[in-house]
Amino acid sequence: MDSAFVLTIFVVICALLFDVINGFHDTANAIATAISTKALKMKHAILLASTMNFLGALSFTAVAKTITKDIVDPFALPNGSVVILAALLAAIVWNLITWYLGIPSSSSHAIIGAIAGAAIAAAGFKSLNYTGFIKIIEGLILSPVIAFVFGYIVYSIFKVIFRNSHLAKTNKRFRRFQIFTAALQSYSHGTNDAQKTMGIITMALISNGQLASNNIPFWVQFSCASAMGLGTSIGGWRIIKTVGGKIMKIRPVNGVAADLTSAMIIFGATHLHLPVSTTHVISSSIMGVGASHRFKGVKWNMAQQMMITWFITLPITATLSGLLYLLLDLVF
């Protein structure tokens, strides 16, 4: 059997493994608020999130095409399969470390940084598509800032609208509405996060000459959607615990405001074909809502720890993937 074909199969397996890990690592964010307010039981929330993630992943491919062509040119990338394999292994290692520590780190930052690092190790800095790469980085940086501001605004509007409402009755209504917002947020997660792995597999197929364009094959789309759904079904209690309770004490009205904000930002990014960190967007939405509700009620020490992890993910995964590429290049 051709060695390049075997390597491609190995890349596909690692990519789907990354998607499974992404499912229980990142999707936990989408249902954390609904679980923390007891709007949904854990098993029901995970089932809902798995289904909506699967449907969201099947609905779009534009973000996948951005990943395929905007970081590096897959048609000109030397030793492309080894580059992608190194990137996937680095991202998987980082995701497992942050999951174990219960830190809601970004899988998007991890894989994008890892692809850049491995490509630089293979062909130098000239291998990066700087126009597309900078556009992606801008989206990753700006999206949590926008989510924080929108979260603050949305909850401020809620406070005005429901200022004379009975607190217990209002929270009861919002708790029911959270089932819808959790579903919406899980669907939005699938429209953006699962696309990244589709783009990576497509890159591998192009670099090995098995695909002539950056159009995403349906089998790639379906397998990535399935892997994301499977990962979601496994759950991610460590991340749920952090997002659902360690940023602020979340009530149903807070959860709805945060869910609507983050879903709106993620849908907007998907419409613009931009990959964003759903982890950053959801966590920042919660912080914005918390700051609007009661500034001192936000546990800013935890927020600081999360932000440090966000900033160090790109350079760490880039360095790790570069080292892994040099090692794998000796083998393949």
Crossing angle of helices 252-271/62-70, nearest 10°? 60
Q: What is the pLDDT, as a whole number, of residue 299?
A: 73
pLDDT of residue 149: 95
Return the closest-CA partner of residue 77 out of 198, 165, 204: 204
Q: What's residue 37's pLDDT?
A: 79
Rounded Cα distance between 71 and 114, Å, is 11
| Tokens read off for 38 | 């007891």
pLDDT bin (cut points 50, 70, 90) of residue 246 is low
pLDDT, tens only, 173-188: 888 898 999 899 889 9
Average pLDDT over residues 271-286: 86
Lowest mean pLDDT among 41-45, 172-176, 233-237, 308-312: 233-237
Give the position of tokens 């062509």: 69
Q: For residue 4, what pLDDT is reported? A: 74
Distances in Å between the Cα of 257 and the Cα atoms of 62, 202, 213 are 27, 36, 41
Per-residue b/e over 13-42, b at no fewer than 16 CB within 10 Å? ebbbbbbbbbbbbbbbbbbbbbbbbebbee
Question: What is the average pLDDT score of the chain?
Answer: 84
DSSP-assigned letter for residue 275: -
Q: Percent of the chain having pLDDT more than 70? A: 91
Confidence band for 238, pLDDT divided at 50, 70 and 90: low
Residue 113 above 90 pLDDT? yes
Residue 242: pLDDT band (50, 70, 90) is: low
Tell me the pTM: 0.85
For residue 119, name the pLDDT band (cuts at 50, 70, 90).
very high
Per-residue confidence at 241, pLDDT binned at 50, 70, 90? low
CA angle 152, 153, 158 (to 5 degrees): 100
Q: Which residues pair with 38 in a beta bridge?
A: none
Q: pLDDT-based confidence at 2, cuts 50/70/90?
A: low
pLDDT tens sequence across 7-27: 888 899 999 998 888 777 666
Percent of the chain exceeding pLDDT 90 equals: 28
